[in-house]
């Protein structure tokens, strides 16, 4: 039976996952220094597939679900995110804005089930939207409207992938990610070939340093395989309400790592925008639990 509280060991494991997911945005930026973005994403998902696909049994879900998830997460979420992070949005803000996937996931879920949006969800969405507008109002060389738009589209694609995964039921999420990645690689490779060109792809691989390849492996092994496996393991042993709130730390790690490792500035407007978006996410997550506690009291 799932436990309602995290032991110290499990709490440290959860903290390790959100730290990997948050600092991952700095790793992406480092990898993009040598690799074209779509090629970078292609290599990431190639190493998600190989060699893990030979050791993990295909989950018992339709091939269409695997294909939909692979395209949405691969070409949609990370393809768009990598392009945005080349020159159009800073890593810290990308780690924050992409968390708006929560609201897209809620919207898609309610659209599919015809469920009405509740008052607290409108309030949460309003707070996050104001935060995004603050970011848009301060667009500069590091963060542009194009980068903001691409990152929001990446968040929407992530939400679509969430809906597909949820529809698949109780499955081995690690195996699901690995097998779905089979469908991430072909569209990313074709898009890289069309938009970046074969010469740029070859040049990117030839000039990639050991640090660049380490960034690629970090993306596939640490971010995807370790992150999803550990998070799924925790969710199988604890209520979602205990584990899910820790994901709010992802932008905290993302912005802190960007400030420390990439010297990304943290002016007041950026902290204010982050506070608004995080407040919206927290309200959406915690309000139902608080309401139930007040009602029982």
- Name the CA radius of gyration of the chain, rounded: 19
- For residue 250, tell me if it sits in a domain: yes
Give Cα 157 distance to the centre of its chain: 10
- For residue 281, tell me if it sits in a domain: no
- For residue 27, tell me if it sits in a domain: yes
C-alpha to C-alpha distance for 27 and 21, rounded to whole angstroms: 10
Contacts of 266 (CB under 8 A, 6+ apart): 92, 255, 259
pLDDT recorded at residue 1: 45
- Structural domain of 25: 8-111+145-266
pLDDT recorded at residue 105: 83
- For residue 194, tell me if it sits in a domain: yes
- For residue 271, tell me if it sits in a domain: no
Kindly provide the b/e burial profile for residues 160-188, where b requires at least 16 CB atoms within 10 angstroms of the residue's own CB: bbbbbbeebeeebbbbbbbbbbbbbbebb
pLDDT recorded at residue 80: 97
For 262, the 3-state DSSP assignment is coil
Contact 25, 97 (CB under 8 A): no
pLDDT along the chain (297 residues), means of 10: 70 91 93 95 96 93 95 95 94 91 84 79 88 86 89 94 83 90 97 97 94 94 88 76 76 92 90 91 80 75
pLDDT recorded at residue 241: 62
pLDDT recorded at residue 185: 97
Contact 171, 62 (CB under 8 A): no
- For residue 139, tell me if it sits in a domain: no
> Structure pTM?
0.87
Number of domains in the chain: 1
- For residue 99, tell me if it sits in a domain: yes
C-alpha to C-alpha distance for 283 and 208, rounded to whole angstroms: 43
Contact 39, 146 (CB under 8 A): no
pLDDT recorded at residue 272: 93
Contact 265, 259 (CB under 8 A): yes
- For residue 127, tell me if it sits in a domain: no
């Amino acid at each position: 039976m799932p436990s309602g509280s995290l032991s110290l060991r499990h709490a440290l494991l959860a903290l390790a996952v959100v730290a990997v997911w948050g600092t991952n945005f700095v790793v992406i930026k480092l990898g993009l220094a040598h690799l074209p973005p779509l090629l970078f994403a292609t290599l990431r998902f190639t190493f998600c597939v190989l060699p893990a696909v030979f050791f993990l049994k295909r989950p018992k879900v339709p091939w269409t679900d695997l294909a939909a998830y692979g395209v949405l997460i691969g070409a949609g979420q990370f393809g768009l995110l990598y392009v945005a992070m080349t020159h159009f949005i800073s890593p810290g803000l990308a780690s924050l804005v992409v968390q708006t996937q929560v609201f897209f996931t809620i919207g898609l879920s309610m659209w599919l089930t015809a469920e009405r949006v509740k008052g607290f969800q409108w309030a949460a969405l309003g707070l996050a939207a104001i935060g995004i507008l603050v970011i848009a109002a301060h667009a500069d060389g590091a963060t542009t409207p194009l980068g903001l738009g691409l990152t929001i589209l990446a968040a929407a694609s992530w939400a679509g992938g969430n809906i597909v995964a949820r529809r698949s039921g109780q499955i081995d999420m690690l195996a699901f990610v690995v097998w779905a990645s089979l469908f991430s690689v072909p569209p990313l490779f074709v898009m890289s070939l069309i938009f970046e060109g074969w010469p740029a792809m070859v040049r990117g691989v030839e000039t990639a340093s050991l640090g660049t390849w380490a960034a690629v492996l970090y993306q596939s092994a640490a971010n995807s395989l370790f992150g999803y496996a550990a998070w799924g393991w925790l969710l199988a042993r604890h209520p979602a309400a205990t584990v899910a709130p820790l994901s709010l730390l992802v932008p905290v790690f993302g912005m802190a790592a960007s400030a420390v490792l990439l010297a990304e500035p943290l002016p007041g407007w950026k902290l204010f925008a982050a506070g608004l978006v995080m407040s919206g996410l927290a309200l959406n997550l915690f309000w139902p639990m608080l309401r139930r506690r007040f009602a029982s009291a």
